[in-house]
Chain A
Amino acid sequence: QTPAPLPSTSFNVVGSIGGLSMYTSREVPFWTEIVPKASGGAIKVQVKPFTELGFKGAEIFRLVSSGTLQFATTVLNYNSGEVPMNEAADLVGLVASVEELEKVIEAIRPAYAKFLEEKHGIKLLGFGTYQAQVLYCRDAFVTIADLKGRKIRASGASQQAFVTHIGASPLNIAFAEVQPALASGVVDCAITGALSGYKSKWHEAAKFISPMPVNFGVAAQLANLKWWNSLDPKVQAFLQTELNKLEKSIFEQARTETQTGINCNTGTGPCSEGAPANMKLVPVTPADEALRKDALTKAILPSFAKRCGPDCVKTWNDTVGKTVNVTLAP
């Protein structure tokens, strides 16, 4: 590969959550090694995770839109309150695996990119995702339906609607307080990433885990549109090509990490992240799958349609809906 004669460019990138592998093992090497090397030293990037900068998450999208940040990775759900479209590919109960998620994202990409450019002045340059968000519980259960009546920590309206739909009580407490809350019984169950729950030592308090993905935590690589348009077209093309590769490697990582997380929590397979814990794996049953779809069509989608509006519902039906064979009534 001959290095393209790119004009020298430097900019700042705000990365995803600092402690998690999407940032440490994908974004950091990408921006500090791969991009400078592949551009022959023409492109210089400073990257910092948003957590280290003292951000909470929801402001990243706004700061990219307003132009304070040039380029950032953000979890799209953080802004699903005011931008319901951000949730379109990551609705609770929508997909059962990372593979399905990739298909859904492929389907919605062009429409979503157009939406971001027109409505928010943001250039969409790629997606990413965390591992599957799964259920950790203190006490035994065989099917998801057994969780009826339990107190489950869930974040965001959609996860809470899911919890309510299965007959359990949704609670909202800060992520940091979940582990001690599981230990003392303030909550019975909680939802988080298959691997991040292991790393946060949830297995010391919760003894049962279901691998069924509740949702994922889809992220996106976003650039301020004005800033992006000011870049040299050669730089734009170069970055877009490289970012496509980054996206692929992030999805690959999400796939392995979901499995690694389950392995590490339960000790049922190789765990590369430390000593395996001995949570009991509660296998996904056909009844669970049916319950997930039921929750999606009866609880999640109707409220999504209401928040999202008719235009957005049409877009969703034409893209995501077609992929998963569900049609939303506007």
Chain B
Amino acid sequence: MIGTAFTLLVVLVGISLPVAAALGLMAYVLSERYAFFPMTGAIGELAWNSSNDFILIAAPMFIMMGELMHRSGMSERLFSALTPWFARIPGRLVHTNIAASAIFAATSGSSVATAATIGTVAIPNMDKGGYNRPLFLGSIAAGGTLGILIPPSINMIIYAVLTDTSVADLYAAGFIPGFLLAGLFSLMVLALCLFRPQWAGPRSETSALWRERVSGLKNLLPPLGLFLVVVGSIYAGIATPTEAAALGLMATLGLVAANGQLTVPVLLRAFEGTVRTTCMVMLIVIAAFFLNFVMVSIGLVKAITDTVLALGLSPLGMLIAIVVFYLILGCFMETLSMMIATTPVVVPVIVALGYSPVWWGIVFVILMEAALITPPVGLNLYVVQAVRRGGAFSDLCIGALPFVAMMIVMIGILIAFPQLALWLPALLKA
């Protein structure tokens, strides 16, 4: 059954059916072959549920924020202001992508929103600079995943609810690994660009670099102001992370209007971009929820989990087996349903092995980040591809690989030094 399922998915996606259709068809086939009650009867309810799920509301608002920044030219000014700062570092704008993602991640609880926002802003600069496309796109898809590791994080909130852990502990625990992972991404990019100088982007020949840097600063102020609105409202106790997204969008709208750039075409193009990306993602999420429903109903998820848990390994061996299990499962499953379907079974095992559920929460979020950028089912890859409008999807699949490698390295570091996650929560409690 497991083999049939995955073969089917690989074939359907491989012959380039739309991903949502492939997931939906696979769910239908599994449901017809293995289930013993008509699960198609639940499609309507599942579709309505996922269409108005609070978990997803923040994403389109952040995406629209990015669209407005892009259409009004704010993002272009932001990037031209940042460019001189990275002009001497091989990789240039690729580092900007990672840094901007890490900063934006502190306002957004969703990886899709982070990737869509940064992607909308950054991709127009890709071909101007003559960057290596896979690396540039990979940095956006992977940088976007930081959205769920650096607090606030919707996935951490769900994990906390599913496992009775503290959201505050998880947020504190995600902070250091989040920025460390961003650092690892940058180091890897630097190493690759030193090794392949033709990927490194255009080197600035100007001698007045500092004047450019300083004169560009004023263009950093508007985005900084938006950042303060969103993050400030969360930490001042004015808004929840979802509500903060709404404030951010309204502030962006106000800013664009104040600059006199809020025209009907700007607004309508922003609407088009937002709706396109949102609906593409949502159709996949609806299909994935139905697939999850079928997989849980027919016991597929349990069959896989039981197989791993029955291996009878040492605690560390078991932990590594579970990590590998998630890396593979993450290729095929959408992250939210993967979390809902597996957490209730896996986390008790992790705790029984003697690991802290908060620490595992961080490792698990990194595994979900990897799932977001591993083909064939990788929502962040799709989002960046959708924002890019054209070009080979394989660019993204290749470009994401080195970043997945860094995530695995990060998990290794966390296994060796669990204090990187657990130190800050303990400090804040004391």
Interface residues of A (CB under 8 A from B): 10, 12, 18-19, 46, 48-49, 51-56, 59, 62-63, 66-70, 173-177, 179-181, 183-186, 199-201, 204-205
Contacts and interface: CB of A to CB of B under 8 A. Distances in A.
A106 B235 CA distance: 48
Contacts of A176: 55, 157-158, 160-161
Given A176-B157, A201-B167, A55 B296 contact: no
Interface of B: 36-39, 41-42, 45-46, 48-50, 53-55, 152, 157-158, 160-169, 171, 234-243, 289, 292-293, 296-297, 299, 337, 340-341, 344
B157 A19 contact: no
B34 to A, nearest CB: 12
A180 B235 CA distance: 10
A174 to B, nearest CB: 4
Contact of B160 (A12, A55, A179): A179
Given A51-B340, A201-B166, A184 B161 contact: no
Contacts of A180: 152, 157, 167-168, 171, 240-241
B164 A52 contact: no
Contacts of B160: 176, 179, 200-201
A46 B303 CA distance: 14
9 contacts: A51-B340, A67-B41, A68-B38, A68-B42, A70-B37, A200-B164, A201-B169, A204-B168, A205-B168
Nearest to A67: B41
A46 B299 contact: yes
Contacts of B242: 174, 177
A63 B167 contact: no
A21 to B, nearest CB: 11
B161 to A, nearest CB: 5
A183 B340 CA distance: 25
A160 to B, nearest CB: 17
Given A53-B297, A54-B340, A177 B45 contact: no
Given A53-B296, A179-B166, A18 B344 contact: yes
B240 A183 contact: no
Contacts of B237: 184-186
A53 B164 CA distance: 19
A176 B169 CA distance: 15
A63 B292 CA distance: 18
B49 A55 contact: yes
A66 B161 contact: no
Nearest to B151: A180
Nearest to B53: A56
A68 B340 contact: no
Contacts of A63: 41-42, 45
B162 A19 contact: yes
Given A12-B37, A200-B161, A177 B241 contact: yes
Given A18-B344, A19-B164, A56-B53, 20 more contacts: A54-B292, A54-B340, A55-B42, A55-B45, A55-B49, A59-B49, A66-B41, A68-B37, A68-B41, A174-B54, A174-B55, A174-B240, A174-B242, A176-B157, A176-B161, A177-B240, A184-B234, A186-B238, A201-B160, A201-B166
A84 B406 CA distance: 54
A96 to B, nearest CB: 28
Contact of B165 (A54, A67, A177, A201): A201
Contacts of A12: 36-37, 297
Contacts of B337: 54
A54 B166 CA distance: 23
B45 A62 contact: yes
B296 A48 contact: yes
B155 to A, nearest CB: 11
Nearest to A180: B167
A193 B417 CA distance: 37
Given A68-B42, A70-B37, A204-B166, A175 B292 contact: no
A54 B164 contact: no
A51 to B, nearest CB: 7
Nearest to A185: B237
Contacts of A53: 42, 292-293, 296-297
Q: Top 5 A-B pairs ranked by shortest CB distance? A: A185-B237, A68-B41, A184-B237, A59-B45, A201-B166
Nearest to B292: A54
